[in-house]
Amino acid sequence: MNIIFFGSFLEYSVEVLKGLLEEKNGQEPINVIAVVTTPPMPAGRKQELQYTHVHEFAKSQNIPVFAPAKLTQEALAELTIFGECDYFVTAGYGKLLPVGWLEYPKLAALNVHFSLLPKYRGANPGEWAIVSGETDTGISVIEMSAQFDTGAVIAQASIPITAQDTRETIYQQLYALGGETIQGVLQTDYLWRTQATEKTEDILGKNNTANTKLSFSYPPVAQLTSPTPYARRLTKDDSWISPNVISLAIAGQNKPISEADLSPFLYAIWIEHWESQGKSLADFIEHAVRALTVFPCLWTTVNTNKGEKRFKIFSGGLSESVKKSTPTTTARFTPEIVQIEGQQKAQWNQVKNSLKFSE
């Protein structure tokens, strides 16, 4: 079975590529004849070209690498020098393959997507799932189509989202799951597409040991309309929050907030998944911090003795305090690792007394 692998998402995509190369359960080997990734980009102060993690790993395994700037027909013609392939497999590539490219593999072009489709199609499914308060997520292996993440579903596997998970831990788990299961998916799919005379249950049974975490759908099941918004790539503008909201969350207050208090992205999530269900503002902010940590990172502005500065929150937690006037408790948000513009990251307790949130 010859595969061309597509991936570019930091070290995460490498996990799926590794999964293709590992010897598992005596299965017939999968031959990765080439890897397609995005071109090297200038990085750092010296603007030196930086290759993707996938590029570096593939070279270390002596796998040919192709890094076209655009997926043109001319680029596809160049790809053919690596020989015929049975499958394209993509995992975190980030580009939509044109129809001409999808028709190149002899059997299928498959994508490993990191949500339980049809939920959270798009580039940032992990972030959207966490900030929306989802309790589980997973991977979906689909037939690629002319639109992002809309193809028929072949297999799925789920994992829980815990109260400690961040965008980083979720993607680590999801891509590890993709790497762990991709061989079983391909072996099963190969049998289904090449041995159509056999019963589907017999084909699935042949790979039972490799597929214990997967739920298969044969024939592949067309997706319904997604019940969630398109999980587009998030930007710094999406992670803005007013200092007023931070103050309320720290104080454990649930006063009404307006569209002017949150970015349009966060406000829509707040209205849909949190305020409408009577959940606390502190809980929402804690989820947003975990969903957006590292990048784009939840941020606001604060007054310091050197003027107004951008203030980022990288981590935080929830605590409960008893209201003195009534025998009830309320959730409060406490920042933990923070950063004031122009300074190093610090513990909240080290800087909180020097800050004043704007009104």
Mean pLDDT of each 10-residue bin along the chain, 359 residues long? 96 97 75 97 83 97 97 96 96 96 97 98 98 97 96 97 97 97 93 79 63 85 96 97 94 91 97 92 96 96 88 93 56 95 94 74
Give residue 44's pLDDT. Answer: 76
Give the residue from 292, 280, 219, 224 showing the smallest Cα distance to 255.
Answer: 280
Give residue 229's pLDDT. Answer: 95
Handedness of CA 80, 86, 88, 89 (dihedral sign): negative
Q: Which residues of 216-233 are buried (b: 16+ CB within 10 A; e: fewer)?
A: bbbebeebeebebbebee
**Whole-Å CA distances, 299 to 116, 189, 311:** 29, 45, 5
Residues 6+ apart with CB under 8 A from 258: none
Give residue 38's pLDDT. Answer: 97
- Measured CA to CA, the distance from residue 119 to residue 116 in angstroms comes to 6
Give residue 359's pLDDT. Answer: 46
Which of the 8 DSSP states describes residue 240? B
Is-contact 254 248, C-beta < 8 A? yes
| Domains defined along the chain, listed by start | 2-221 (3.40.50.170), 236-357 (3.10.25)
**Whole-Å CA distances, 40 to 48, 96, 233:** 9, 19, 20
Is-contact 243 302, C-beta < 8 A? yes
- Cα of 127 vs its chain's centroid, Å: 6
- Taking the model in full, what pTM does it have? 0.93
Give residue 330's pLDDT. Answer: 77
Q: Which residues of 306-345 are buried (b: 16+ CB within 10 A; e: fewer)?
A: eeeeebbbbbbbbeeeeeeeeeeebbbbbbeebbbeeeee
Give residue 328's pLDDT. Answer: 55
Give residue 355's pLDDT. Answer: 82
Give the residue from 168, 176, 119 showing the smallest Cα distance to 291.
Answer: 168
Strand 2-6 to strand 31-36: parallel, antiparallel, or no bridges (unpaired)? Answer: parallel
Give residue 102's pLDDT. Answer: 97
Give residue 185's pLDDT. Answer: 94
CA count, 13 A, side-chain hemisphere, 18 = 15
Give the residue from 95, 19, 9, 21 showing the smallest Cα distance to 53.
Answer: 9
Give residue 43's pLDDT. Answer: 80
- Measured CA to CA, the distance from residue 112 to residue 139 in angstroms comes to 7
221: β partners: 153
